[in-house]
Chain A
Amino acid sequence: MSTYRVEDMTEDLNTFRTRAREWISHNLRPLEPGESAGHAISRMSEEAELAAVAHDREVQRKLFDAGLAGICVPKEYGGQGLSPEHQSVLNEELAGYEYPTRIQVPTLCPCAAVLLEFGTEEQKRQHIPAMLKGEELWMQFLSEPSGGSDVAGAVTSAVRDGDVWVLNGSKVWTTGAWWSDWALCLARTNWDAPKHRGLTVFMLPIHQPGIDVFRIEMLNGSKEFCQEFMTDVLVPDSDRIGDVDDGWTVGTRWMFHERILYSSPYVTNPTGTVHGGLAATSVAAIARDVGHVHDPELLELIGEARVLDLVGHELALRVADGIRLGRMSDQASAIARLFKAMVTMRIHTLRFEAAGSTGAAWTDGDGTAAWSGNEFLMRQVSCIGGGTTEMARNVISERVLGMPREPTLDRDVAFRDVPRSRPQSGSSGSSQESGRSQSGQSRNR
């Protein structure tokens, strides 16, 4: 299902390209040699990162004022109403220039994409233009500490009290929540319905009484991810997205948009950008900095990285086309997600391998080879974030190939009766067995 409505037939691709090129060359800063458009997050000071966010907001505002923001967003919500091809042209023209990376994901995709599909007219008019102007940065309040892949098992509760909802619970793995403004939040509104039929989606401002944002230190020292604790947070019913208890309908599309992030026509993504920040330097650059760029064994590593990069790029385009043309189901987005993760993981390994002993111990003078070992420690992030690759493999085999679903113990039973942790010890028999038989006796709330 594709929902891009092309309104403006007057601006053909060439006119658009000329306009974009002209404006970009006069208004945006070209990247320095070796500088990557993707931001490297882990080693920035707090002040530097806040300044970078503020700068991103300014650049986004300039793009908005120039009519170069929200290319595929309808005009009534501040966008340009143009086609995905126009977005591709913009991506090409932006190559080699700074651009507001932090505004793109998750603000424009999946958050704006979800709002465009499920928001009321008023919600869309209030928030989409603000997103496009860089005034509202959005986050996803989706994962919870109690369940990573099992997103529909959310236990953040929302209880209705007249015209408002009272939210309690905790969300985690939000990137940069401490400098963001709004969040899309999945919460449980019905504990008596089965898991997927008792969820509702809300939107809420992040910085308000009742929400505490903590930065999580990752094993490489990065503090990009956050955890939020919500205590009696009040959300007006007018900030509900979609129907009560129908949050999984929204959630399914939400996760679809999350899987296609970098091929989404809502996302500006200059051609040639390497995502994930840390993987931005090439294996060749590392090989050069350690003085081995022409060693045959390093040629192999450099070539493999480039081949995987090219193939991954072509695959993302193919899957996006397949879905747009109706030749593939939306679920096929998991194919691109899985492949991207495998590529990113492998490239981390190749970079680390190319660095040699410099990956283990380095000085500040070691150029791009420095920190490659530290980054290798975080290799699995690409296979975990945005839904694990195990989940992607389930989706591909079950939803795309139609293979039998994994047996579950949480379908067609009231969610409050679904076991959510290992039973407390002290009961007789092996804990494994009792875990299976005592469903419902060990609720953790």
Chain B
Amino acid sequence: MLLELSPDQEVFRETTAKFLDDRAPVTEIRRLRTDPAGFDRRFWRSGCELGWTSLLVSEEQGGGTISGRGAVDLSLIAYEFGRRAAPGPLVANNVVASALGTSGSPAHAPVLAELLSGDQLATWCYSEPPPHDRLGTVNLQMRVEGKHLVLNGFKRPVEFAEQSHQLLVTGHSEGGLTQALVPTDCPGVRIEAMHTIDLTRRFAAVEFDDVRVPVEAVVGEIGRAQDDVERQLQLALVIMNAESTGAMQSAFDMTVEWAFDRYSFGRPLASYQEIKHRFADMMAWLEASHAISDSCAESVEARSGEASELASAGKAFIGEYGTELVQDCVQLHGGIGVTFEHDLHLFLRRVTVNRLLYGTPAEHRQRVARKVILREDAA
């Protein structure tokens, strides 16, 4: 997380931190394991009142930032989510709110208002099932028929699809990528829950079988959604990078405490050089994750030329070292670290899920590599 917050940002961060401590303690997260939704709707609405879904939306549209840099402010919230492995559809609703705010038509304004208040939920249907699950592969077809758009295809994993009212669907139409906002109760939309790792996250496979929506459902222009999709991806990466960094920090802190408390052969674990050196490596990975997460948020907020590369670099690094770090924390805990009773797995679950969504570390390394090659070819 940023080393220097403005007083307003600090208040904002602290408010969410306290709210989460109060409303989503570990006992609540464990209870939500068997809850079908994975989070409480009143909890989400209260969070929205604190601004959780407003940061990427302009003031004229009912949103607003704390520092004037919404993605940076949002990364502070995401970090606090990660610190507690908190429940709630943070990625999904922010990405859709941003897309509607940026490229939505007046027809989308009522939905956007309800995403800001938390009365409605939306999610992004982007990834597709194997073997079309490579980052950026879009096979879902969108065809214009008179005044309608007809959708055919499959999306998965879609975060909180069952719990959402609206789906922002990315598909292909003649000319290129197109996006449309589709209500989940539309005929032809079939949502099937999937198994997952995280206790409070829910995923589903969504089928679109000749789903017909009015062309007004299109977000942006038909065939020209490429830049919007890239922007949405970058924002999702900002949120997940910050969240995973928070989860890494919590796992690391717990394990440092453990190393001081746990005695073996008459001395604390923290006194063994082999273990000390492992902590040093973990601390380097952790601080590096903070650094790249922050610069990713800054550059995406500024829409700088490096935004895409930094966001992918963050995902590639944090994706890989997030799970490495928390698994090493498990190792240093020994047997207790692989029990359900211990809280360490809450963070392991979070970094593990985040590692794989919206592109694996390997896919993001390749994305970065292509940019390097393009740049060097141009030079």
Contact = CB atoms under 8 A, between A and B. Distances in A.
Asked if A pairs with B, the answer is yes
B313 A307 contact: yes
Contact of A397 (B280, B372, B379): B280
B3 A325 contact: yes
Nearest to A312: B288
A33 B259 contact: no
Interface string A89-107: 0000000000000000000
Contacts of B260: 403
B280 A338 contact: yes
A317 B294 CA distance: 11
A284 B377 CA distance: 10
Contacts of B280: 334, 338, 392-397, 401
Contacts of B279: 396-397, 401, 403
B4 interface: yes
Nearest to B287: A335
Given A303-B368, A310-B292, A393-B277, A335 B373 contact: no
A285 interface: yes
Given A33-B379, A401-B279, A306 B268 contact: no
B317 interface: yes
A160 to B, nearest CB: 39
Interface string B273-289: 10011011101100110
Interface stretch (A229-237, A294-302, A434-442): A294-302
Given A310-B310, A322-B3, A339-B284, A303 B364 contact: yes
A338 B288 CA distance: 11
Contacts of A243: none
B317 A306 contact: no
Nearest to B259: A403
A31 to B, nearest CB: 11
Contacts of B256: 401
A16 to B, nearest CB: 22
Interface residues of B, number: 44
A12 to B, nearest CB: 21
B272 to A, nearest CB: 9
Contacts of B290: 318
A396 B273 contact: no
B98 to A, nearest CB: 24
Interface string A250-287: 00000000000000000000000000000000101100
Interface string A376-388: 0000000000000
Nearest to B365: A303
B379 to A, nearest CB: 6
Contacts of B273: 394, 406
Given A339-B288, A394-B277, 9 more contacts: A299-B369, A302-B369, A303-B364, A303-B369, A306-B309, A311-B288, A314-B294, A342-B281, A403-B259
23 contacts: A285-B376, A293-B373, A299-B365, A300-B365, A301-B369, A302-B369, A304-B365, A310-B310, A311-B313, A314-B288, A314-B291, A315-B287, A318-B291, A322-B3, A332-B287, A339-B284, A393-B280, A396-B280, A397-B276, A400-B283, A401-B279, A401-B280, A403-B279
Closest 9 CB pairs of A and B: A303-B365, A397-B276, A303-B369, A393-B280, A396-B280, A314-B291, A302-B369, A318-B291, A404-B271
Interface of A: 33, 282, 284-285, 288, 293-294, 296, 298-304, 306-308, 310-312, 314-315, 317-319, 321-322, 325, 327, 332, 334-335, 338-339, 342, 390, 392-398, 400-401, 403-404, 406
